[in-house]
Amino acid sequence: MKSFYKKFSERFIEGLLMLSSSITTLTVILIVVFLFKEGLGVFEQKPVENGYIIAVNKANPLNEISSAQIKNIYDQKITHWNEIGGKPDSVFLFRMEDISNFYSEDQIGSNFENLPACLSRVIDSIPNIIAFFPEKYLAKDFKGKQLEVEKITFSQFFTGKEWFPTAQPAAQLGVLPLILGTLWVSLGAILLALPLGLAAAVYMSEIADDRIRRVMKPLIELLAGIPSVVYGFFGLVIIVPLIQKTFDLPVGETGLAGSIILGIMALPTIITISEDAMRNTPRAMKEASLALGASKWQTIYKVVVPYSISGISAGAILGIGRAIGETMAVLMVTGNAAVIPHTILAPVRTIPATIAAELGETSNGGLHYKALFALGCILFLITLFINLSVEYISNRKKHNQH
């Protein structure tokens, strides 16, 4: 009877464990599916806000236009239609408020009841016009021509240099500045953190005695538990003014400030993993090196570090992963300028900071909303690549040990 209950309890526990792992796996899969479903939706929408249209005169041969062309037209960088395939005529910009230059308030109507007809006549009377107005004011017998606005393509999204998701009349969704800003700050962070972390790991594993190690290791691991907003405040109060004063900059919120903060945040990961890898170096290898006449430092350089290089690499990559995914600290110290960085002393904007800063301002299901989910997809792929790299390095280390 006891054996029956024992087998039953074991199978019951196994079933609970299997159910728990299945639910966890399914939840992760559903989250990833939801993320990509929302993110890929950005390529199915037009960059013009829902409920608005771009219209031209019927005589205009142009039938399709891109969001970049619309922006350049309204920024007056494109001033003639032949620059985008139209007739050799100058572009006449028309906005809703310009209707008062053509019709009086009485003609438009107190409730704008005559506005659709007025808009239709204005567009019909000016051959080189381009107009942007709400679709609800489109007359049933509209005498102009609606331009078809091109959907956002993968090429435009990933190589575009301007991130203005709320721009009117057409949103600009170029994520290249955000990707480069994220990689720029993360690279700076790892260049700062890796030498310091490696030096600390060597000291703790090979030089410090047990009493010092028992004190230092918990203190270093405690750094990982400090909230990122605290690091952000520290950077904003100490590091940002220091950078501004040292380099004589107009503002201290730069990529360098973000790299320093993220480097500090990545140190616990790098130190802990590297130190564990070094301490796993077989004692026989170190003693053999010393017996052959090598000094302690030569043994560290020639034996310990090469043997534990896979662990050191894994720690560095995981440190990069921590830096890439960080939000609040970066949001507070990097300046949040969505421009392509040409120097570490320029303000930058990262992908996580963009999502954190803008998601609360979007409407559910809108173009901006889906564009931020697409940024989340990019961040997920970068993190996945990092995790796969760590797995590959760890497996290679096990293979080499065998």
Q: Where are the domains of the chain?
A: 2-44, 52-150, 176-401
Mutual orientation of helices 255-279 and 176-202 as an angle, nearest 10°?
A: 40
Task: Say how far apart CA 39 and CA 376 lie, in whole Å.
Answer: 7
Inter-residue contact 387 to 46 (CB < 8 Å):
no
SS3 percent helix, strand, coil of the chain, rounded to 5, is: 65, 5, 25
In 81-175, alpha helices (H) = 105-108, 115-125, 154-159
Q: What letter does residue 30 receive in the DSSP assignment?
A: H
- At 4, the pLDDT band (50, 70, 90 cuts) reads low
Q: Could you tell me which residues come within 8 angstroms of residue 45 by beta carbon, excluding any fewer than 6 positions away?
A: 151, 152, 367, 370
Task: Say how far apart CA 306 and CA 304 lie, in whole Å.
Answer: 6
Determine the topology of domain 52-150 in CATH.
D-Maltodextrin-Binding Protein; domain 2 (3.40.190)
What integer is the mean pLDDT of 138-156? 91
Torsion-angle region of residue 354: left (phi > 0), alpha (psi -120 to 50) or beta? Answer: alpha
C-alpha triplet 135, 73, 43: angle, nearest 5° = 60
Enter the tokens of residue 160: 């575009």
Amino acid at 152: I
Inter-residue contact 238 to 231 (CB < 8 Å):
no
- At 400, the pLDDT band (50, 70, 90 cuts) reads low
CA dihedral 269, 272, 277, 278 (to 10 degrees): 130
Q: What letter does residue 76 receive in the DSSP assignment?
A: T
pLDDT of 196 above 60: yes
What integer is the mean pLDDT of 218-227? 86
Whats the size of the chain, residue-wise?
402
Task: Say how far apart CA 273 and CA 266 lie, in whole Å.
Answer: 11
Q: What is the pLDDT of residue 117?
A: 94
What integer is the mean pLDDT of 186-191? 89
Task: Say how far apart CA 33 and CA 12 lie, in whole Å.
Answer: 31
Task: Say how far apart CA 193 and CA 187 lie, in whole Å.
Answer: 10
Count the Cβ atoms, other than its own, within 10 Å of residue 211.
Answer: 8
Enter the tokens of residue 289: 């090196």
Q: What's domain 176-401's architecture?
A: Orthogonal Bundle (1.10)
Enter the tokens of residue 39: 């993110």
Task: Say how far apart CA 332 and CA 336 lie, in whole Å.
Answer: 8
pLDDT tens per residue, range 132-142: 999 999 998 99
Q: Which of 60, 354, 25 shows the shortest CA–CA distance to 185?
A: 354
pTM summary value: 0.86
pLDDT of 362 above 90: no
Return the higher-pLDDT residue of 392 and 284. Answer: 284
**Cis peptide, bond prior to residue 282, ω within 30 of zero:** no
Q: What is the pLDDT of residue 394?
A: 65
Q: What is the pLDDT of residue 221?
A: 84
Q: Kindly report the average pLDDT of the chain as a whole number.
A: 89
pLDDT tens per residue, range 159-176: 999 999 988 889 999 999
pLDDT tens per residue, range 44-83: 988 998 889 999 999 999 999 999 999 999 999 999 999 9
First-to-final CA distance of the chain: 46
Q: Which of 159, 199, 153 shows the shortest CA–CA distance to 47?
A: 153
Question: Tokens 């053999």 correspond to what residue?
Answer: 288
The pairing of strands 129-134 and 92-94 is parallel
pLDDT of 37 above 70: yes
